[in-house]
Amino acid sequence: MDAAALVERVEGALRVNRVFGDPVTADGVTVIPVSQVGGGAGGGSGRDTGNGGETASGRHTGEGSGGGLGWTGRPSGVVVLRDGDVRWVPALDVNRLVSATAVVLVAVALTVRAAVRARS
């Protein structure tokens, strides 16, 4: 894939509709879903190592190139439009909540353990 085609694909992935979903209206209430979108890209190149192109394992190295592009997204919440009022309703990220709870529980357990050892 040439650079121009890659740039075109990245531009397509960065459109605003990747962050804001299509509005949904029912019973006079409009809801617009919002998500966090992130991504990254990388590239590489290759050359002969200078020792005849052979590695310690006997494999030959040579010219090469590489690249990658990745995107991720997660729900942030929704914008609610009702009777002229706009309200933000955040999404509950259960994975983040469970992770934070686990960290707090480990910290409490270590603190209790240290206090018990100090008393002994």
Write out pLDDT tens, residues 45-57: 776 655 555 555 6
Per-residue confidence band for 5, with pLDDT thresholds at 50, 70 and 90: confident
Tell me: pLDDT of 16 over 60.
no
Q: What is the pLDDT of residues 77-120, one digit of tens each?
A: 999 999 999 999 998 878 888 999 999 999 999 999 999 999 88
Q: Is residue 101 part of a domain?
A: no
Q: pLDDT averaged over the chain? A: 81
Number of folded domains that form the chain: 1
Phi and psi at residue 110, to the nearest 5°: -65, -35
Whether the per-residue pLDDT at 17 is higher than 90: the answer is no
> Which residues are CB-contacts of 7 (< 8 A; sequence separation ≥ 6)?
none
Q: What pTM was estimated for this model as a whole?
A: 0.49
Give the C-alpha distances (Å, rounded to integers) separating 72 from 13, 69, 89: 11, 11, 21
In a domain? residue 107: no
Tell me whether residue 58 is in a domain. Answer: yes
pLDDT of residue 28: 92
Tell me, yes or no, whether 103 lies in a domain: no
The boundaries of the domain holding residue 40 are 3-91
